[in-house]
Amino acid sequence: MSPLITAVELVALSDARLTELPLVVLDVRWRLGGPPGLLDYQAAHVPGARFLNLDTALADPPGPGGRHPIPDPARLTAEFASVGVSDSSTVVVYDDADGSVAARAWWLLRWLGMPSDQVRVLDGGFSAWVADGHPTESEVPEPTRGALTARPGSMPVLDADGAASLAGTGLLLDARAPARYRGETEPVDPRAGHVPGARNAPFARHIGPEGHWRSPDDLAAYYRALGVVGGTEVGAYCGSGVTATSVVLALEHAGLRPPERPAALYAGSWSNWSADPERPVALGDEPEPA
């Protein structure tokens, strides 16, 4: 089963007669620098959707671990349970753009131990939902609290040492825009550049011109060209550990990494690496030796 779901499939899934598992739809719209996604949610959202904020619900406060550290498992479990997520739920997550923020929620649910067939990302997000003519609402639902069991660690995570090692022995993918990878600009973090040995795999290339995820075949060709082949160990990072989760999702969607063997996430990402003056930095188009 693909980690993605279309708007038409979500409509069908919303019919309780067609699913044995209770459906929870999560709205995680967010943009760097604002305005808050909550305002968009309050104006219009997928009927029945519940809102979660990336900065406060889907990350711990910024610190040594980076700008968006993985939340404390107990707190994260409580956040998901507060919007109705239970062990028996089918969860569909959406944002309003390229799916990268939705991928963060998808990844966190999987990291907590939710089976791959119970959590999916809406292809095209809220924009596709509206473009397809599906209804929206502004009413904020009051969900019944869910009963969610935490099994943290169900997705592989790298620290800085692990990322450095993987860049030399396997394949470490940098999901940021090419200019940030090359070190030409760095609008957020302390230093510009990339982890030595990492290859650039901009997350923006996951999406086609119509705003939907590219096909599995297209993504498979893209990632094979970057070196995702056979038994190569793969990890991904970005600025703060958010958009890199879309690389993990893309590799699963492409069929290159099955749910039982996902790519690893360097959770602290560049915000963690660049804050340590002892960590080397590479510049330019080439990965440079790790």
Going from the C-alpha of 20 to that of each of 7, 82, 118, 171, the distances in angstroms are 19, 21, 11, 40
Alpha carbon distance 112, 87 (integer Å): 10
- CB under 8 Å to 32, separation ≥6 — which residues? 188
Own/partner contacts of 258-261, CB < 8 Å, gap of 24 or more, are 259/110, 259/116
Alpha carbon distance 245, 58 (integer Å): 13
Alpha carbon distance 90, 115 (integer Å): 10
> What stretches in the chain show pLDDT beneath 70?
16-21, 289-290
Per-residue pLDDT of 92-105, as tens digits, reads 999 998 999 999 99
Reference 186, options 248, 270, 107, 249; nearest CA is: 270
Helix, strand, coil abundance in the chain, percent, nearest 5: 30, 15, 55
Amino acid at 44: A
**pTM: predicted TM-score of the whole model, two decimal places:** 0.96
Alpha carbon distance 127, 142 (integer Å): 24
How many C-beta atoms surround the C-beta of residue 260 within 10 A? Answer: 6
Q: How much of the chain exceeds pLDDT 90, in percent?
A: 90
Per-residue pLDDT of 70-88, as tens digits, reads 999 999 999 999 999 999 9
pLDDT at residue 230 in the model: 87
Q: Show which residues are catalytic.
A: 238
Counts of helices then strands in the chain (DSSP H, E): 10, 10
Alpha carbon distance 29, 40 (integer Å): 8
Reference 81, options 154, 23, 144; nearest CA is: 144
pLDDT at residue 17 in the model: 46
